[in-house]
Amino acid sequence: MMPMKKHLAIVGATGAVGQEILRILEQYQLPVDQITLLSSKRSAGTELTVRGERLTVQEATPDSFQGVDVALFSAGGTVSKLLVPEAVQRGAVAVDNTNAYRMDPHVPLVVPEVNGEAIKEHQGIIANPNCSTTQMVMALHPLRQAYGMRRIIVSTYQAVSGAGHSAMVELENETKGILEGEKVTPTILPSAALPVHYPIAFNVIPQIDRFEPNDYTLEEMKMVRETKKIFQDATLEVAATCVRVPVFRGHSESVYVELEQEVSKEDVISSLQAMAGVIVVDNPEKQQYPMPIDGVGKPEVYVGRIRRDLDHPNGWHLWIVSDNLWKGAAWNTVQIADQILKS
């Protein structure tokens, strides 16, 4: 039988995540024969080289998805709400990187190493979790599987690239401006869609995305809801504080987790080491622990600072780091696309 030619579309090809998807396609053999790059009207016409081929980015419209097998969406929730249904209607499987469909009960929310089998249940849409959720469940999954898990309390230290290319430009310009004694006028962070903005250079902002009525931010509630969905455990106790730090790439997380059993540190470490996609970097004697600068452009999730709680024998403190644009977004999306294309 002739193998079917496969056609991949990338929506948001010129954005922070889209650019990393293209970088990953240079290094990783995804079984596709044709690639279409799509964007907003604003970026249409941009020329990009993909796998040695010069491609022109086209404006994404409903008809862009004619003949497309898999469409990767990383152009924000509004674009996904508008165009994901159009892609699905034309027979494509959509892998969506935004918050638009994650909590839809008909949409699997997938981290392949954790719940890859959920891909099979898709009805045209598969959602990629929030970057902070993805790296956390990667590290916690093996511990939960082996020892059971009752409670998670997490504080994040999130890089500006999560808020897109414009937030990276804002951090760069503010840093230069402040060092040169200029007055800076932030317009992007904590969120371009909100009325009040704060500088991120030489600062830390305890708000990512808008506030929900319960005084948690949407980013924090995404972590809560998505973690329960991925683990299929509504009784798991989860609370999050999400914080923006002046780092370009790589999210860090301080996580407190309560297991259902008392286990040794060796057991915790060997469970983490056995997990595909997780690397343990934990050597206090040599001052070794994960940091964002070591994880940039890498697909793995790094875990260190592993220590038992001082008061609760089943409680553990972990430090989890990963490139938010890779495992947190582009790499997880490509992994899902790969499974769909090969099925």
Question: Mind telling me the catalytic residues?
Answer: 131, 251
Provide the CA 4 distance to its chain's centre, in angstroms. Answer: 30
The CB-of-234 to ligand L14 minimum distance in angstroms stands at: 21
The CB-of-271 to ligand L14 minimum distance in angstroms stands at: 28
Cβ distance to ligand L14 smaller for residue 64 or 158: 158
Q: Which stretch binds ligand L14 (CB under 6 A): 24-32, 155-163, 195-203, 279-287?
A: 155-163
- Distance CA(324)–CA(189), nearest Å, equals 17
| Contact call for residues 317 and 305 (beta carbons, < 8 A) | yes
| Contact call for residues 19 and 26 (beta carbons, < 8 A) | no
Contact track, ligand L14, 186-225, x by CB under 6 A? ----------------------xx---------x--x---
Per CB under 6 A, 126 contacts ligand L14: no
Contact track, ligand L14, 59-98, x by CB under 6 A? ---------------------------------------x
- Distance CA(198)–CA(328), nearest Å, equals 25
Scanning the structure block, which residue is given the tokens 């862009």? 64
How many Cβ atoms from other residues are within 10 Å of residue 194's Cβ? 13
Q: Which stretch binds ligand L14 (CB under 6 A): 6-14, 142-150, 157-165, 332-340?
A: 157-165
The CB-of-226 to ligand L14 minimum distance in angstroms stands at: 9
- Distance CA(337)–CA(343), nearest Å, equals 10
Per CB under 6 A, 245 contacts ligand L14: no
- Distance CA(3)–CA(271), nearest Å, equals 39
Cβ distance to ligand L14 smaller for residue 161 or 271: 161
Q: Which residues contact 279 (CB under 8 A, 6 or more apart)?
A: 300, 301, 302, 303
What does the binding site for ligand L14 look like in residue numbers (CB under 6 A)?
98-99, 130-131, 158, 162-163, 208-209, 219, 222
